């Protein structure tokens, strides 16, 4: 009997030690905080960005140059990060969709394997979060100033409900994350998702950042004045910068108070001057909003260092997708173009990962939960469609993709539904232009068309070469591979036609 008790005690102690040795995981994510505004990806804005926290993570970890989402819109991307599945598999295609609480997600798996789990900030998936010991989330999109937060005690499905708190959203989310960390059991690992509302439109910022880049004239992207999409061979209008112009002018007129930095006027300006003035305010607001995220990354890193937790904590900072900052004359996201579909991503884990490293392997957001489980020593479930890129980070027997598959479902006349494939050097897009009866889609069809880009010679995707005979063989190869990758992703809706 004594031996049995000793054996049981040994097993309990071994399990406890195993839990202690597992890494903590801090997954920080913002909304729309695109790589052009991080300052560690180069670009024309790199010298104007406040990025003290981001740089600390860059210096202590690995930066991914080619992380992409599978559907560049907030709700679907977040669902894919949790479930490890494409939109057509987890059922979250578009903005109106909800993630079923019964869905298997990475938080549930970690919780069932001894992790303390929490999510603080933006949730955006309509139904009650599952798999989390604690949650404190914004209702719907949430507010920048004096936001409401929903917890287990006051939960309502949808975008309503919650309790109001005084302050700026990013600061409350940062402080609340630290408050949860103060209460955890230090003998067990934690999984914390800290999700900022910033830098989503209306790009608001706290008072302390209002003078950041004051009176600065920001450099402009070379394609800012692409007024006619046919200049580049595109056949769609997209979400142009002047949409912001209209919103700011209307907000000024009606005094709704939605946007910061008003009044705004374009009286007496010509078309080019209107776009230029709008761009300057757009970038100024965006960088101020992003600075509030960085302030709170610094705050959280300081806490982890003070508590001597940082060496055994995997820290990720990313965005749910990218965002156009004037490229092609665009704002917003949704497209399979680089600025929109690329997710900036940095990961630090002092106990195991190299420092100041960059990798350019093709990686998808559906791979993120597989990575987290791999670090935690947990096998991924069969339902996950991605794979861990831990070995890519360590450069040990790495598994690399030759292609990535992308599909945007929320069809609109100006932003048609499309799908596509990207290799390291080339990209093929099929704008099929149908809502297919999905939620939140426009049922008016647009004319299908194709786009092809040489990402080596034309990294800005400024020239659609779909009809260029020089690329005929490469286009045919990608077309064949697109059909294969679509099938591999278990996407069987809509047949891909030949390129005419």
Convert the pLDDT of each residue in 100-112 to its tens digit.
999 999 999 999 9
Convert the pLDDT of each residue in 356-377 to its tens digit.
999 999 999 999 999 999 999 9
Which letter, b or e, does each residue of 131-168 get, where b requires 16 or more Cβ atoms within 10 Å of its Cβ?
bbbbbbbbbbbbbbeebbbbeeeeeeeeeeebeebeeb
pTM reported for the whole predicted model: 0.95
Give pLDDT, residue 20: 60
Q: Which segments of 260-381 does DSSP mark as H helices, in order?
A: 271-306, 338-341, 368-375
Angstrom CA distances, 185 to 17, 19, 33, 113, 311, stand at 14, 11, 32, 15, 17
Query: Mean per-residue pLDDT for 480-488?
Result: 98
Query: Structural domains in the chain?
Result: 23-206+282-402 (3.40.720.10), 405-488 (3.30.1120)
Cis amide linkage into residue 206, ω under 30° from 0: no
By the 8 A CB rule, do 275 and 18 touch? no
Angle, to 10 degrees, between the axis of helix 52-60 and the axis of helix 271-306?
60
By the 8 A CB rule, do 170 and 110 touch? no
Phi (first) and psi of residue 177, to 5 degrees: -65, -45
Whether residue 26 is predicted with pLDDT greater than 50 in this model: the reply is: yes
The number of C-alpha atoms within 13 Å of 42 and in the hemisphere containing its C-beta is: 1
Convert the pLDDT of each residue in 231-253 to its tens digit.
889 999 999 999 999 999 999 99
Convert the pLDDT of each residue in 36-91 to its tens digit.
999 999 999 999 999 999 999 999 999 999 999 999 999 999 999 999 999 999 99
Place of tokens 């989310």: 173
Give pLDDT, residue 500: 79
Q: How confident is residue 145, by pLDDT bands cut at 50, 70 and 90?
A: very high
Angle, to 10 degrees, between the axis of helix 242-254 and the axis of helix 271-306?
90
Phi (first) and psi of residue 431, to 5 degrees: -85, 95
Q: What share of the chain is helix, strand, coil (3-state, %, to 5)?
A: 35, 15, 50
C-alpha 496/C-alpha 483 separation (Å) is 7
Query: Mean per-residue pLDDT for 202-218?
Result: 98
Q: Show Cβ contacts of residue 349 under 8 Å, excluding neighbours closer than 6 positions.
A: 23, 61, 313, 314, 315, 375
Place of tokens 């991914």: 64
Give pLDDT, residue 389: 97
DSSP-derived pairing of the beta strands 116-122 and 134-138: parallel
Which letter, b or e, does each residue of 246-256 get, where b requires 16 or more Cβ atoms within 10 Å of its Cβ?
ebbbebeeeee
**Residue spans of beta strands (DSSP E) within 139-242:** 148-149, 163-164, 190-195
Whether residue 7 is predicted with pLDDT greater than 50 in this model: the reply is: no
Give pLDDT, residue 4: 40
């Amino acid at each position: 009997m004594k031996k049995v008790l000793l054996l049981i005690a040994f097993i309990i102690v071994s399990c406890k030690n195993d839990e202690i040795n597992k890494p903590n995981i801090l997954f920080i994510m913002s909304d729309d905080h695109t790589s052009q505004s991080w300052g560690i990806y180069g670009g024309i804005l790199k010298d104007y960005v406040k990025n003290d926290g981001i740089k600390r993570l860059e210096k202590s970890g690995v930066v991914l140059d080619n992380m992409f989402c599978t559907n560049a819109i907030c709700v679907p991307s977040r669902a894919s990060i949790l479930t490890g599945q494409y939109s057509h598999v987890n059922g979250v295609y578009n903005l109106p969709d909800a993630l079923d609480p019964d869905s298997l997600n990475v938080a549930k798996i970690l919780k069932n394997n001894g992790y303390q789990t929490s999510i603080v900030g933006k949730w955006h998936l309509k139904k009650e979060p599952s798999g989390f010991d604690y949650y404190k989330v914004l209702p719907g999109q949430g507010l920048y100033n004096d936001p409401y937060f929903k917890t287990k005690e006051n939960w309502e499905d949808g975008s309503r409900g919650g309790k109001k708190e005084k302050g700026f959203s990013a600061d409350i989310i940062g402080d609340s994350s630290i408050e949860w960390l103060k209460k955890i059991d230090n003998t067990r690992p934690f999984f914390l998702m800290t999700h900022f509302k910033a830098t989503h439109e209306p790009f608001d910022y706290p008072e302390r950042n209002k003078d950041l880049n004051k009176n600065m004239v920001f450099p402009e992207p070379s394609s800012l004045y692409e007024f006619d999409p046919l200049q580049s061979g595109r056949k769609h209008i997209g979400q142009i910068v002047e949409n912001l112009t209209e919103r700011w002018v209307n907000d000024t007129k009606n005094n709704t108070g939605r946007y910061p930095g008003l009044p705004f006027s374009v009286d007496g300006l010509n078309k080019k001057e209107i776009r230029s003035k709008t761009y300057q305010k757009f970038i100024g607001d965006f960088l101020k909003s992003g600075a509030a995220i960085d302030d709170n990354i610094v705050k959280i890193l300081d806490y982890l260092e003070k508590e001597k937790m940082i060496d055994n904590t995997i820290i990720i900072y990313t965005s749910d997708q990218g965002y156009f900052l004037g490229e092609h004359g665009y704002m917003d996201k949704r497209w399979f173009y680089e600025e929109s579909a690329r997710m900036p991503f940095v990961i630090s884990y002092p106990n195991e990962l190299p420092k100041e490293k960059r990798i350019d392997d093709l990686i998808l957001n559906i791979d993120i939960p597989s990575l987290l489980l791999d670090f935690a020593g947990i096998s991924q479930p069969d339902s996950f469609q991605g794979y861990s890129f831990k070995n890519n980070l360590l450069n040990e027997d790495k598994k690399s993709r030759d292609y990535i598959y992308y599909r945007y479902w929320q069809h609109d006349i100006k932003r048609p539904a499309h799908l596509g494939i990207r290799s390291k050097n080339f990209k093929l897009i099929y704008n099929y232009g149908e809502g297919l009866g999905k939620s939140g889609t426009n049922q008016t069809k647009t004319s299908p068309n194709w786009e092809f880009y040489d990402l080596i010679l034309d990294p800005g995707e400024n020239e659609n070469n779909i009809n260029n005979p020089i690329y005929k063989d490469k286009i045919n190869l990608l077309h064949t591979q697109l059909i294969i990758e679509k099938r591999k992703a278990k996407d069987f809706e809509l047949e891909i036609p030949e390129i005419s």
